[in-house]
Amino acid sequence: MKLPVLSIKDVAEATKLDQKLMIKTVVFSYRQGKQKYLVCVALPAEKQVNKMRLAELLGINSNILRFASEKQITQLGFPIGGIAPFGFQDDEYLTKFLDKSIWEIESEWLYMGVGDNTKTLKITKIAFLEITKTYQQIAL
């Protein structure tokens, strides 16, 4: 039986993969007026999202930027611990960012969530960057 993973640390322990080759996806939400917005950020596993910088890029106050709830994540089609950095339904209220430091990872292969928290996707860096080429590239 495969046990679900809920964090990058769990993935590293279960797979024995180098965290430097792992991409994590963090989802935030915020509200402006009656509209809710979601923000997806794909970045190397060892990095943290600079919430102040992200809010600045979005043109909002960082106080309204929150981690997305489990319900919001599952509505995107992903379980906690299995968020893929792509494969989202087209949603005008979802902004997608890619941390520029992913380009600096010195490996042919990257590992990330695949939409199932019992599996990990192994994909070439070239293919990953092609799939995410429409994302806004940022330095966090």
pLDDT tens figures, 95-109: 999 999 999 999 999
Q: Is residue 122 part of a domain?
A: yes
- Residue 64 inside a domain? The answer is yes
Residue 23, domain extent = 8-138
Number of domains in the chain: 1
Asked whether residue 32 is domain-assigned, the answer is yes
- Rg, Å, the chain Cα set: 15
39-83 per-position pLDDT tens digit: 999 999 999 999 999 999 999 999 999 999 999 988 888 888 788
Strands 66-67, 22-32: pairing is antiparallel
Whether 2 maps to a domain, the answer reads no
- Tell me, yes or no, if the pTM score tops 0.85: yes
Q: Is residue 126 part of a domain?
A: yes
- CATH no. for residue 18? 3.90.960.10
Q: Is position 1 within any domain?
A: no
